[in-house]
Amino acid sequence: MSNKELKTILLIEDDMVLRENIEELLTLYGYNMITAANGRDGLEKAHKVVPDLILCDVLMPGMDGYLVLQELLCHEATQNIPLVFLSAMTEPKDILQGMDMGAYAYVKKPFEEDELIHAIKDAISKYKEA
């Protein structure tokens, strides 16, 4: 992937170890990474940078992933950024709630590396087509 094709991913995850592991993994795959430890910080960064994709935990203190998605959808600059939820909440109703709200995909924790990469590549390629 050349530099002009470098895609920026915003990762919003409150678990520091998981956040650092995902950041390291995706950097190795050639993505430009921006991270946030909570929903509020993530929203601020999303508006400043307007990333190609947002990976967002659902369960976070303060502002959960559902509220992050609602806020993103309210602003023209961020409403079309594909958002992939990362969550240990694996009940069908939880997944449906995220998808019905407008999430692009829902990756269940713990996840396999290739599952995450596939969701990212798919979301970014569909976003480019839009």
Domain boundaries, the chain: 3-129
Q: Please tell me the CATH code under which domain 3-129 is placed.
A: 3.40.50.2300
Q: Strand pairing partners for 8? A: 32
**Best CA proximity match to 37, nearest among 10, 67, 9, 15:** 15
Return the pLDDT at 5: 72
**Best CA proximity match to 103, nearest among 83, 117, 89:** 83
Q: Strand pairing partners for 53? A: 9
Helix or strand run (H / E) with residue 98: helix 92-101
C-alpha distance across the termini of the chain, in Å: 21
The mean pLDDT value of the chain amounts to 92
- With 0.85 as the threshold, say if the pTM is over it: yes
Per-residue pLDDT band at 128 (split at 50, 70, 90): low
Q: Which two tokens stand for residue 65?
A: 């992933």
| Dihedral (Cα; 89, 93, 44, 109), 10-degree rounding | 20
The tens digit of pLDDT for each residue in 26-82 reads: 999 999 999 999 999 999 999 999 999 999 999 998 999 999 999 999 999 999 999
Cβ-in-10-Å burial (0-12, 13-18, 19+) of 122 comes to: middle
Return the pLDDT at 129: 60
Return the pLDDT at 130: 54
